[in-house]
């Protein structure tokens, strides 16, 4: 990169012409910050993208996996990359048009989906609303392992109350792509329903989301 004229380097081109002027690997190279001996950051970024089968696949990889097996990508760089992809998901949630009011299960799934799709591990998302169903905040509730996510009922209710909400819904993903609710999913719905009733909150629904669709989870 030192041999490249300053005006043609990724950072300078981004500042001069905007992010659209850079390729995927150049943008990722700016996140990485530096390469290693004999390989600049852009080349390292290209290897990282290729290793995981493309940019979309890379966005699904947990930070601790990014830092394994590729020289030049340690914990700090892996954390920066994972953080950038997560920010993108959160921006998508905030910009979702026409989905700031929950009037049914489909709305809940649509609001929560940007934080749930494209992940390789299970995650639960909390959507906190006012009495009219207007979304006050959408936030990550828990991040779990590849095959399970716990929905802590007490913490969920406490967070809704702390945000001044009077209604809430919960959604989580199935990285396997299966929409069929598990027994644990149904039990979580039952516990959320009972817990909300006990503290005077309105429980809107519990849905499972995959990259291809969503399904309501009934109590069980």
**Taking 60 as the threshold, does the pLDDT of residue 99 lie above it?**
no
Question: What is the pTM for the complete model shown?
Answer: 0.65
Confidence of residue 13 (pLDDT cuts 50, 70, 90): confident
For residue 11, the model assigns a pLDDT of 86
| Residue 134 three-state SS | strand
Element (H, E) at 86: helix 75-95
- β pairing state of 135-143 and 123-129: antiparallel
Task: Report the alpha-carbon distance of residue 194 to residue 220 in Å, rounded.
Answer: 12
Question: pLDDT band at 185, cuts 50/70/90?
Answer: very high
- What is the Cα–Cα distance from 121 to 182, expressed in whole angstroms? 16
Per-residue model confidence as pLDDT tens digits over 138-158: 988 998 765 565 788 999 999
Q: Give pLDDT, residue 33.
A: 87
Packed helices 24-32 and 41-51: angle between N→C axes, nearest 10 degrees = 110
Give residue 209's pLDDT: 94
Contact 79, 61 (CB under 8 A): no
- Answer whether 84's CB lies under 8 Å from 31's CB: yes
Predicted confidence band of residue 93 (pLDDT cuts 50, 70, 90):
low
The share of the chain scoring above pLDDT 70, in percent, equals 91
**CB–CB of 127/111 below 8 Å?**
yes
- CA–CA dist 209, 213 (Å, integer): 6
> What pLDDT, on a 0 to 100 scale, did the predictor assign at position 208?
96
Average pLDDT score over residue span 193-219: 95
pLDDT at 16: 84
Q: Output the average pLDDT for the chain.
A: 87
Section 92-118 average pLDDT: 81
Mean pLDDT across 74-89: 89
Residue ranges of domains in the chain, CATH in brackets: 6-91 (1.10.150), 98-216 (3.40.140.10)
Does residue 8 have a pLDDT over 80?
no
The fraction of the chain above a pLDDT of 90, given in percent, is 45
Residues 124, 159 contacting (CB under 8 angstroms): no
């Amino acid at each position: 990169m030192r041999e490249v004229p300053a005006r043609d380097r990724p950072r300078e081109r981004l500042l001069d012409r905007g992010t659209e002027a850079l390729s995927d690997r150049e943008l990722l190279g700016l996140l990485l910050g530096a390469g290693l001996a004999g390989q600049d950051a852009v080349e390292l970024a290209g290897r990282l993208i290729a290793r995981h089968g493309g940019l979309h696949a890379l966005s699904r990889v947990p930070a601790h996996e990014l830092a394994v097996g590729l020289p030049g990508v340690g914990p700090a760089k892996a954390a920066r990359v994972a953080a950038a992809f997560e920010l993108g998901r959160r921006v998508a949630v905030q910009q979702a048009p026409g989905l700031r009011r929950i009037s049914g299960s489909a709305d809940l799934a649509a609001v929560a989906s940007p934080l749930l799709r494209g992940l390789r591990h299970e995650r639960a998302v909390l959507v906190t609303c006012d009495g009219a169903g207007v979304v006050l905040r959408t936030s990550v509730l828990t991040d779990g392992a590849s095959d399970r996510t716990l929905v802590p009922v007490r913490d969920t209710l406490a967070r809704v109350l702390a945000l001044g909400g009077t209604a809430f819904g919960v959604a989580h993903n199935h990285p396997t792509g299966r929409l069929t609710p598990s027994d644990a999913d149904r039990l979580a719905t039952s516990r959320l329903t009972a817990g909300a009733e006990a503290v005077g909150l309105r429980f809107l629904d519990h849905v499972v989301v995959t990259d291809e669709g969503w399904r309501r989870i009934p109590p069980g």
